[in-house]
Amino acid sequence: MSGKVWLVGGGPGDPDLITVKGLRLLEAADVIVVDRLGPRALLDSLPRVVSGEVTVVDVGKQPGHHPVRQPQINELLVAHALAGRRVVRLKGGDPYVLGRGGEEVAACVAAGVPVEVVPGVTSAVSVPAAAGIPLTHRGVARAFTVISGHDDVADLLGGVPGGPEHTVVLLMAVGGLAHTAWALVAGGRPQDTPVAIVEDGYGPRQRTTIATLGTVAQVAAEAGVRNPAVVVVGDVVTLAPAWVGEVAGGHRMWRAAAQRVSS
């Protein structure tokens, strides 16, 4: 029997946000290889998982701690598929948005294993939405860029527009937040540029912390911000309820943003 690998995006964490196709594949899988940020609660509702008919392999990574490294994950997928099993690689968000999905597809192709990518709702867009932040909004922002906080942001800013109409979304950025904020200011963004940190989007501890580029490192430290979190930089943050309710002068800034939209 010929096996196959499906890379399934599970969305930002809420089990209800997986696609219909992704759920059907999980229900039919022989092996599920799951990330730390995948919708793990969903597995408890699958009868074949509960009965032990499905092998669940935990390959979750945490910042600075990768017990199963990426080459080993690639080997797992290939080995199970070559043994004739239906393998679902369950990821948080979307497999092709900073999820190393391309590497896993390349490993399968190199081994002659059939592989398919099933897109998911990326946390880069959905988690800000959970906090009431649109990444684009008429009269406020018309484009956005997604950047990995693991990378040296200073090296990437040359290709990122610096105007107020361009939103920057940072994934995996909590650990290097102070350096990233400094790099964005050095790249031309004002220190009073609004920033929102949305923790655990759609999860039980969802929280939005708001600040500016000049204050975000201190504010995040005082609030005890931790992963998983998505950082949004730009004027769209002023549209969030948290900004209106918590920032000094927030109501005035909200009205200014609304006025820009109406005009």
CATH of the domain at 13: 3.40.1010.10
Active-site option among 14, 35, 94, 200: 35
Instruction: Say how many residues make up the chain.
Output: 263
| Greater pLDDT, 133 or 1 | 133
Same domain flag for 174 and 94: no
253 and 147 Cβ atoms separated by less than 8 Å: no
Q: What is the pLDDT of residue 136?
A: 96
What are 128-148's pLDDT values in tens digits? 999 999 999 999 999 999 998
Same domain flag for 11 and 108: yes
Mean pLDDT of the chain: 87
pLDDT (average), residues 213-238: 95
Asked about 35 being catalytic, the answer comes back as yes
Same domain flag for 31 and 83: yes
Same domain flag for 151 and 254: yes
Active-site option among 91, 172, 235, 253: 172
Percent of the chain with pLDDT over 70: 86
Asked about 61 being catalytic, the answer comes back as yes
Euclidean distance between CA atoms 15 and 202, whole angstroms: 10
Q: What is the pLDDT of residue 248?
A: 45
Asked about 172 being catalytic, the answer comes back as yes
Domain count, the chain: 2
Euclidean distance between CA atoms 82 and 106, whole angstroms: 15
| Greater pLDDT, 13 or 113 | 113
Residue 64: pLDDT band with limits 50, 70, 90: low
**61: pLDDT strictly greater than 70:** no
Same domain flag for 111 and 68: yes
Same domain flag for 128 and 256: yes
| Greater pLDDT, 164 or 104 | 104
Residue 244: pLDDT band with limits 50, 70, 90: confident
Same domain flag for 132 and 249: yes
The vertex-163 CA angle with 148 and 149, nearest 5°, equals 10
Q: Which domain holds residue 256?
A: 124-262
**247: pLDDT strictly greater than 70:** no
Residue 52: pLDDT band with limits 50, 70, 90: very high
Same domain flag for 150 and 77: no
Total Cβ atoms within 10 A of residue 139: 14
Percent of the chain with pLDDT over 90: 68
Same domain flag for 49 and 179: no
114 and 5 Cβ atoms separated by less than 8 Å: yes
- In a 13 Å sphere around the CA of 36, the CA atoms on its Cβ side amount to 11
Same domain flag for 11 and 131: no
- In a 13 Å sphere around the CA of 131, the CA atoms on its Cβ side amount to 34
**260: pLDDT strictly greater than 90:** no
Last residue in a domain, options 74, 90, 121: 121
Same domain flag for 114 and 132: no
Q: Which residues contact 168 (CB under 8 A, 6 or more apart)?
A: 144, 145, 147, 160, 184, 232, 233, 234
Same domain flag for 107 and 203: no
What are 143-196's pLDDT values in tens digits? 999 998 876 666 666 667 677 789 999 999 999 999 899 888 888 889 999 999
Radius of gyration for the alpha carbons in the chain, expressed in angstroms and rounded? 20
